[in-house]
Amino acid sequence: MTSNIMDRDTVSQRNALLADGSSVRNIEVKREDYLDWCDYFMSIAFLAAKRSKDPCTQVGACIVNDDKKIVGVGYNGMPLGCSDDEFPWGKKDRFGLNNKYLYVCHAEMNAILNKNSSDVRNCTIYVALFPCNECAKIITQSGIKEVVYMSDKNAHKVETIASKRMFDAAGIKYRQHKPKSKQIVIDFDEIEWSQERTPVKSKKNLL
């Protein structure tokens, strides 16, 4: 896994660049280019979202307890037994049966239902999008105490306003996540790195 979360100064302090563009990694000091907790949990939510077949918005959610343990992950998808190929992914049929809104389970609901602990009371849920009112109901009923979201692009919609009304009434905190890095790159070849020299291409990823 490669993450381009170091700034240039940190890179230059840790890695001496060689003439061929590769670099020597100082393996005697603590690594600084690691994910902090919030970026990590939000990244898990975004990674889970990649599983979604929704043609418009892939959304993921990650639930974390007070010990910083992940207890549930989910993404938006069709209910169990409802084929991804048979149920509709479109939304043009606003008042008919051929509309995804009637069927798709949102990421927050799935993450709560997928929990691997007895409950999610006092947990924090990391979500890409501010939860809709239906998910807000479930979040509130589940005992989750905090919502960390990435985008609030639907803030003007009544669903989102209703969500915030419920969260405010129930004392559930919500805050927008400000990532330390704009982008995190996963490179499956990174595992092949040498202790002495980092691959040339990793230099590109770190800039």
Q: Given the rule CB under 5 A, which residues bind Zn ion? A: 106, 132, 135
Q: Minimum Å distance from CB 13 to Zn ion?
A: 44
| Cβ proximity to Zn ion, 26 vs 176, nearer residue | 176
Q: Using CA of residue 186, residue 187, residue 191, residue 196, what is the dihedral sign?
A: negative
Q: Minimum Å distance from CB 152 to Zn ion?
A: 14
In what side-by-side order are the strands of the sheet with 23-25? 15-17, 23-25, 197-198
Q: Directed axis angle between helix 133-142 and helix 158-170, to 10°? A: 20
Q: Minimum Å distance from CB 161 to Zn ion?
A: 14
* Catalytic option among 28, 32, 108, 159: 108
Residues 127 and 144: their CA atoms lie apart, in Å, by: 13
Diameter over CA atoms, the chain = 64
| Cβ proximity to Zn ion, 44 vs 135, nearer residue | 135
Task: Report the SS3 class of residue 155.
Answer: coil
User: Strands 124-129, 146-151: parallel, antiparallel or unpaired by DSSP?
Assistant: parallel
Q: Minimum Å distance from CB 80 to Zn ion?
A: 18
Is 28 assigned a catalytic role?
Answer: no
| Cβ proximity to Zn ion, 132 vs 144, nearer residue | 132
- CA-wise closest residue to 177 among 68, 47, 52, 43: 43
Position of tokens 């919609």? 157
User: Strands 146-151, 60-64: parallel, antiparallel or unpaired by DSSP?
Assistant: unpaired
Catalytic residues: 108
